[in-house]
């Protein structure tokens, strides 16, 4: 009996083939099993997949002692990590080049970038990590690439406004969707320990200086996901400052300046915390063990008068200054 496998199944299979980490392979195989048509013709294949899946879940095979280096694992530094996703030649490296000091390869030919390249982008006094990536196409993804997106804070879907925006959106969002990378509030996909698989995503429309007529509006209109859109041109600088601010807002973080008792606050190097963090969270960020000895705190900034004594559960705001007293 014919198996009549569907495009969804083939996409999941493609994900499995391009997955290089053990966890990613499990996720991909679970997806294959979830989307495979369930009829007599696929009975053997399903049994085979279930067998392979339980083998995978037993743990990775031990292959000698050599440790493999995963070039797609980019350790996060700074206040947040933003990873670019785009088609060949769409302008990803030019964005990272314009906003950071990273040594990226901007080139007028496709597939110029082969591995992730992180750089630090400054927004006021905050450092945010931007990661340049190799391109993807509708039928090519570098093996292991999905791993970089899986652990980032924000995915920037780069759309070249000088090319077919609808086609780019279709391919790029499909890549994210088939790998459970699009955060979906209605049906949040989670891993074995309950962490969300989807990442917060926005569309970064670039090459505004040579955009086709109405391309930005068309991209917004043809996107069937509730994503935010930003327009930039690294070439002319258009929208670049607004983009830094946008990324800071999207990360949903605040800056807090620590003030040692009797001394001025350190205004050069803020601590960054998630929106909603309180005084105790700040103490934990500064020093996990000392945090248990936190006795009292004074704050300057939003909703307090200067130097007000605040409770340890006092919720902090962007640019607050806090003086911590330990017992």
Ligand X SMILES: Nc1nc2c(ncn2[C@@H]2O[C@H](COP(=O)(O)OP(=O)(O)OP(=O)(O)O)[C@@H](O)[C@H]2O)c(=O)[nH]1
Task: Give 69's contacts (C-beta < 8 A, 6+ positions apart).
Answer: none
| Sheet with 81-85: strands ordered across | 117-123, 126-132, 81-85, 154-160, 200-206, 229-231
DSSP 237: -
**Per-residue contact track with ligand X, 29 to 68, x per CB under 6 A?**
----------------------------------------
Phi, psi of 43 (to 5 degrees): -55, -50
- Does position 10 interact with ligand X (CB under 6 A)? The reply is no
Q: Which stretch binds ligand X (CB under 6 A): 32-40, 48-56, 86-94, 217-225?
A: 86-94
- Does position 93 interact with Mg ion (CB under 5 A)? The reply is yes
Pick the closer one to ligand X by CB: 109 or 305. 109
What is the separation of C-alpha 196 from the centre of its chain, rounded to a whole number of angstroms? 12
Q: Give the Å distances, CA to CA, from 84 to 95, 96, 155, 168, 242.
A: 9, 9, 6, 14, 17
CB of 191 to Mg ion, least distance (A): 30
Pick the closer one to Mg ion by CB: 107 or 210. 107
Q: Which residues pair with 271 in a beta bridge?
A: 256
Binding site partner of 174, from ligand X, Mg ion, none, Cβ cut-off 5-8 A by kind: none
Write 96-102 long-range contacts (CB < 8 A, 24+): 96/130, 96/131, 96/132, 97/234, 98/234, 98/237, 98/240, 99/130, 99/234, 99/240, 99/243, 99/244, 100/130, 102/130, 102/132
- Contact at 8 Å (CB) between 316 and 273? yes
CB of 111 to Mg ion, least distance (A): 8
**Per-residue contact track with ligand X, 99 to 138, x per CB under 6 A?**
-------xxx-xxxx---------------------x---
Q: Which stretch binds Mg ion (CB under 5 A): 67-75, 112-120, 144-152, 249-257?
A: 112-120
Q: Which stretch binds ligand X (CB under 6 A): 6-14, 141-149, 228-236, 313-321?
A: 228-236
**Per-residue contact track with ligand X, 161 to 200, x per CB under 6 A?**
----------------------------------------
Which residues of the chain form contacts with ligand X (CB under 6 A)?
86, 88-94, 106-108, 110-113, 135, 206-207, 209-210, 233-235
């Amino acid at each position: 009996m014919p198996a009549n496998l569907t495009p969804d199944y083939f996409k999941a299979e493609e994900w499995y083939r391009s997955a290089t980490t053990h966890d990613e392979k499990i996720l991909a195989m679970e997806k294959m099993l979830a989307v495979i048509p369930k009829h007599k013709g696929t009975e053997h294949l399903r049994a085979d997949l279930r067998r392979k899946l339980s083998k995978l879940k037993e743990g990775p095979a031990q292959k000698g002692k050599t440790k493999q280096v995963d070039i797609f694992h980019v350790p996060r530094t700074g206040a947040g990590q933003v990873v670019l996703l785009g088609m060949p030649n769409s302008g990803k490296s030019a964005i990272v080049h314009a906003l950071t000091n990273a040594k990226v390869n901007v080139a007028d030919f496709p597939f110029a970038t082969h591995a992730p390249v992180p750089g630090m982008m400054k927004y006021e006094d905050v450092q945010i990590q931007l990661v340049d990536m190799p391109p993807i196409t509708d039928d090519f993804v570098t093996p292991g690439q999905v791993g970089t997106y899986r652990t980032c804070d924000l995915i920037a879907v780069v759309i070249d406004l000088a090319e077919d925006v609808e086609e780019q959106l279709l391919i790029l969002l499909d890549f994210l969707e088939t790998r459970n990378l699009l955060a979906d509030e209605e049906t949040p996909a989670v891993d074995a320990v309950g962490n969300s698989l989807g990442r917060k995503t926005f569309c970064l429309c670039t090459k505004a200086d040579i955009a086709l007529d109405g391309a930005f509006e068309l991209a917004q209109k043809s996107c069937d996901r509730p994503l935010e859109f930003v327009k930039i041109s690294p070439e002319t600088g258009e929208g670049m400052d607004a983009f830094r601010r946008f990324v800071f807002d999207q990360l949903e973080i605040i800056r807090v300046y620590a003030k040692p008792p009797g001394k001025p606050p350190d205004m050069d190097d803020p601590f960054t915390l998630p929106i909603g963090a309180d005084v105790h969270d700040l103490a934990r960020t500064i020093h996990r063990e000392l945090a248990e000895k936190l006795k009292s705190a004074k704050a300057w900034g939003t909703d307090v008068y200067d130097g007000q004594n605040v409770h340890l559960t006092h919720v902090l705001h962007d640019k607050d200054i806090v003086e911590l007293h330990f017992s």
